[in-house]
Amino acid sequence: MEFCPDCKSIMVPTEGMLVCRRCGRKVEMTRGDRHISKTEQKERLMTVIEDCEAAGLPTTKSRCPECGNDIAYWWLRQLRSADESEVRFFRCTKCDFTWREYD
């Protein structure tokens, strides 16, 4: 990232030149300057797995209040203010019933 020698603002690469957004000063880019424009960036491919909502969640031994199953997925969420503890959520691996525990 280059900064303008006059106003110290960020200079943007444009057509082989670095151009200051604030004052408009132009400086020729040297060979050592490496700037990646948005057109040069490669697109990333994102894979979304919709097969099972709980895929990837850890499991624990916890009794489901609905069906009595002993294994449940679990995760934590901060629902209240930051100075209070997180809430533990559980989802039964058998019947998908979800419940929570507070500290």
Whether residue 51 lies inside any domain: the answer is: no
Full-model pTM: 0.47
Whether residue 63 lies inside any domain: the answer is: yes
Residue of 28, 40, 83, 103 marked catalytic: 83
Whether residue 49 lies inside any domain: the answer is: no
For the record, the structure tokens of 9 come out as: 């603002």
Which one has a higher pLDDT value, 61 or 52? 61
Q: Which domain holds residue 1?
A: 1-36
Whether residue 53 lies inside any domain: the answer is: no
User: What total number of domains does the chain contain?
Assistant: 2
Residue 97's pLDDT band (boundaries 50, 70, 90)? very high
Whether residue 52 lies inside any domain: the answer is: no
For residue 63, the domain's CATH number is 2.20.25.10
Average pLDDT over residues 10-33: 81
Residue 39's pLDDT band (boundaries 50, 70, 90)? low
Residue of 84, 86, 96, 101 marked catalytic: 84
Residue 55's pLDDT band (boundaries 50, 70, 90)? low
Assess whether 64 and 96 both reside in one domain: yes
Q: Is 83 among the catalytic positions?
A: yes
Whether residue 44 lies inside any domain: the answer is: no
Instruction: Mention every residue, 6+ apart, whose C-beta is less than 8 A from residue 10.
Output: 1, 2, 3, 4, 20, 21
> pLDDT at residue 98 above 80?
yes
Whether residue 12 lies inside any domain: the answer is: yes
Which one has a higher pLDDT value, 95 or 54? 95
Task: Report the alpha-carbon distance of residue 59 to residue 51 in Å, rounded.
Answer: 18
Q: Is 84 among the catalytic positions?
A: yes
Whether residue 87 lies inside any domain: the answer is: yes
